[in-house]
């Protein structure tokens, strides 16, 4: 619970109304109830302003108090979206349970644990692990030998991080993600059986990386699979061994990146994009959902769609043509008939001549 005064101070706003009103939740303006705070950052929501039941409303300085039948407060700010972001971050931090190290967890004697670290019940911290300050390890998390976790990291329930992998500062790893599982490496022997190639590398997540739930990042065969600073990965993504993803790239769910592929900085990939193995993709390229990237892309800042992926605008034009193919087929068949008739006519005319 926060008061309107506390929220105003938190987001640097100008409060108009009762500073002691109590706020218990945040909601959309059309659904807000008494005890909740809401906001207006887009003109299309102005129509709800007069009738909302919210106890507090964050707005810009163009709004003024009105009489609408219940007590509420206005908190005016220069940038509504920035203010809401600050409030949400505060709420998120309040939701984190900092209960110290649970008696039901296991922490190896050789592990190094920083200050203000929380480790939940049934989590297992292996030999020579290092966990930085202000890091929260939820329940049923497994950290293998010599795993390094930075400062201000949040690891959600069920995460498994294999031996020697490294997580940077200010990272978030969501539930049931696996980091450092073996890469998909096999070779056929003389009998046609597939023999496993040992996977002895590791995974490194640089600072400010967020990994969604049920995503898998494989360890390198040797060397490192690297996710660079600021990368955001959605749920249900497969990243194979020895992949490298450049800074501030964003990749949506169900995308798969095959082994030894390197993506540049600021890559944007929609859902279900597939990247072939052993290719390089230059900085700034964007891929629409379900694009298949089969070969390296050397030019920067392109847009691609389709499988195999082609220039986005060419694909859009091709899609228009594709939808007309049945009609075009009928027209072609009709033209063929006309040509056959014309050919026969000409042949007959030549015989008569």
- Domain spans, the chain: 2-95, 159-308, 323-352
Q: Is the peptide bond before 182 cis (omega within 30 degrees of 0)?
A: no
Q: What average pLDDT does this structure show over 18-39?
A: 95
Are the CB atoms for 186 and 169 separated by under 8 Å? Answer: no
Total residue count of the chain as it appears in this document: 353
The pLDDT score that the predictor gives to residue 347 is 82
Are the CB atoms for 61 and 76 separated by under 8 Å? Answer: yes
Q: What is the DSSP string of 14-80?
A: EEES-TT-EE-EE--TTT--TTEEEE--SGGGGGGTTT---SEEEE-TT------SS--EEEE-S-H
State the fold for domain 159-308: UDP N-Acetylglucosamine Acyltransferase; domain 1 (2.160.10)
Pull the structure tokens for residue 49. 């302003």
Pull the structure tokens for residue 109. 């004697």
The pLDDT score that the predictor gives to residue 91 is 84
Q: What average pLDDT does this structure show over 263-290?
A: 98
Mean pLDDT of the chain: 95
Q: What are the φ and ψ backbone dihedral angles of 214, each rounded to 5 degrees?
A: 60, 25
Q: What is the DSSP string of 190-203?
A: TTSPEEEPP---EE
Strand pairing category for 280-281 and 303-305 = unpaired
Pull the structure tokens for residue 302. 């392109």
Is residue 226 helix, strand or coil? Answer: strand
Q: 193-230, pLDDT tens digit by residue? A: 999 999 999 999 999 999 999 999 999 999 999 999 99
Q: Which CATH superfamily is domain 2-95 in?
A: MurE/MurF, N-terminal domain (3.40.1390.10)
pTM beyond 0.85, yes or no: no
Q: What average pLDDT does this structure show over 63-78?
A: 91
Ranking 8-17, 43-52, 234-243 by mean pLDDT, the lowest is 43-52
The distance between the two most distant Cα atoms of the chain, rounded to a whole number of Å, is: 107
Q: Give the model's confidence band at 67: pLDDT under 50 very low, under 70 low, under 90 confident, else very high.
A: confident
Residues with active-site annotation: 241
Q: 304-325, pLDDT tens digit by residue? A: 999 999 999 999 999 999 899 9
Q: C-alpha angle 167/116/82, rounded to 5°?
A: 70
Is residue 155 helix, strand or coil? Answer: strand
* DSSP state letter for 299: S
Q: Give the model's confidence band at 97: pLDDT under 50 very low, under 70 low, under 90 confident, else very high.
A: low
Q: What is the distance between the alpha carbons of residues 334 and 113, in angstroms, rounded to a whole number? A: 78
User: Who's near 147: CB < 8 A, 6+ residues apart?
Assistant: 126, 129, 130, 161, 162, 163, 164, 165, 166, 167
Q: Give the model's confidence band at 28: pLDDT under 50 very low, under 70 low, under 90 confident, else very high.
A: very high
Distances (CA, A) of 307 to 179, 261, 272, 282, 312: 29, 18, 11, 19, 11
Q: What average pLDDT does this structure show over 129-147?
A: 97
Q: What average pLDDT does this structure show over 119-128?
A: 97
Q: Give the model's confidence band at 96: pLDDT under 50 very low, under 70 low, under 90 confident, else very high.
A: low
Strand pairing category for 262-263 and 244-245 = parallel
Q: What average pLDDT does this structure show over 49-61?
A: 94
Strand pairing category for 14-16 and 25-26 = unpaired
The pLDDT score that the predictor gives to residue 181 is 98
Helix axes 80-95, 4-11, angle to 10 degrees: 110
Are the CB atoms for 275 and 263 separated by under 8 Å? Answer: yes
Ranking 1-10, 68-77, 341-350 by mean pLDDT, the lowest is 341-350
Closest C-alpha to 139, from 161, 122, 160, 116 = 122
Percent of the chain with pLDDT over 90: 90
End-to-end CA distance of the chain: 102
- Check pLDDT > 70 for residue 95: no
Q: What average pLDDT does this structure show over 50-64?
A: 94
């Amino acid at each position: 619970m926060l008061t309107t005064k506390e929220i105003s101070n938190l987001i640097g706003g100008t409060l108009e109304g009762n500073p002691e009103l109590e706020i218990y939740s945040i909601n959309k303006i059309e659904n807000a109830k008494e005890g909740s705070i809401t906001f207006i950052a887009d003109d299309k929501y102005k129509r709800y302003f007069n009738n909302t039941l919210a106890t507090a409303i964050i707005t810009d300085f163009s709004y003024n108090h009105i009489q609408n039948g219940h007590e509420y407060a206005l908190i005016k700010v220069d940038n509504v979206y920035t203010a809401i972001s600050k409030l949400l971050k505060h709420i998120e931090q309040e939701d984190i349970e900092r209960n110290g190290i649970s008696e039901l967890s296991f922490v190896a004697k050789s592990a190094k644990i920083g200050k203000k670290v929380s480790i939940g019940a049934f989590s297992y911290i292996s030999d020579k692990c290092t966990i930085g300050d202000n890091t929260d390890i939820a329940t049923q998390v497994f950290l293998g030998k010599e795993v390094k976790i930075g400062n201000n990291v949040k690891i959600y329930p069920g995460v498994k991080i294999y031996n020697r992998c490294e997580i940077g500062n200010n990272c978030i790893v969501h539930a049931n993600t696996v980091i450092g599982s073996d890469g998909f490496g096999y070779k056929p022997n003389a009998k046609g059986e597939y023999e496993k190639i040992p996977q002895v590398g590791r995974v490194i997540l640089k600072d400010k990386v967020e990994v969604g739930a049920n995503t898998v990042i494989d360890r390198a065969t040797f060397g490192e699979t690297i996710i660079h600073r600021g990368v955001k990965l959605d749920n249900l993504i497969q990243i194979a061994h020895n992949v490298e993803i450049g800074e501030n790239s964003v990749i949506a769910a169900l995308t798969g990146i095959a082994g030894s592929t390197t993506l540049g900085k600021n890559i944007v990939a929609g859902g279900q994009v597939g990247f072939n193995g052993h290719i390089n993709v230059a900085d700034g390229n964007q891929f629409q959902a379900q694009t298949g990237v089969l070969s390296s892309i050397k030019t920067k800042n392109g847009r691609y769609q389709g499988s195999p992926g082609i220039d986005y605008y060419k694909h859009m034009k091709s899609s228009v043509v594709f939808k007309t193919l049945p009609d075009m087929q009928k027209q072609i068949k009709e033209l063929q008939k006309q040509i056959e008739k014309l050919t026969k006519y000409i042949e007959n005319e030549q015989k008569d001549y």
